[in-house]
Structure 1
């Protein structure tokens, strides 16, 4: 079994059945690998269209930050610019728009 990795309040345990397909020092952690349940609760509220609490928005921003910091990007994608947008995500609608924008770049955190 892979070693757990703590990122802020999250504890991720990689799923050996679904390894990250690229050779990187630190692979992005997928929300379903998080074991405390706090991230799953926030992601499920977001996916279900519920009104997000400020703490849930903060958790989703932290999740997106680690994902964007670690994911392999296409050559023309500006990682710093994407990371700079995270503090502006203040609602489920903002997060949804951002997720759609990055999906067009091949980044699929959800």
Structure 2
């Protein structure tokens, strides 16, 4: 299963980006397209839902670290809303569900 995504815009200025499938080096282009789509609305908050990510590798976690940096460049708050067990196993301890604190957010 390859990576797919959904973008949901909310009236309060937040955008939810939900990923589905596998996330690794091969899916980096799809992830960056998803991130660009989500941030195109210039949201005040970007919410990332990884609950439907079925597998991830170290390269995939590296790709995910682009999200808080991209949001920060737009003065957009970033938060993880949910993670799958596959993601949770590889996520750094300072990058858990909720608002992502530095250094994960930089």
Superposition TM-score tier, normalisation by shorter sequence: 0.3 to 0.5
Give the structure with the larger helix fraction. 1
Per the normalisation by structure 2, the TM-score is 0.37
Per the normalisation by structure 1, the TM-score is 0.36
Highest CA radius of gyration, 1 or 2? 1
Give the structure with the larger strand fraction. 2
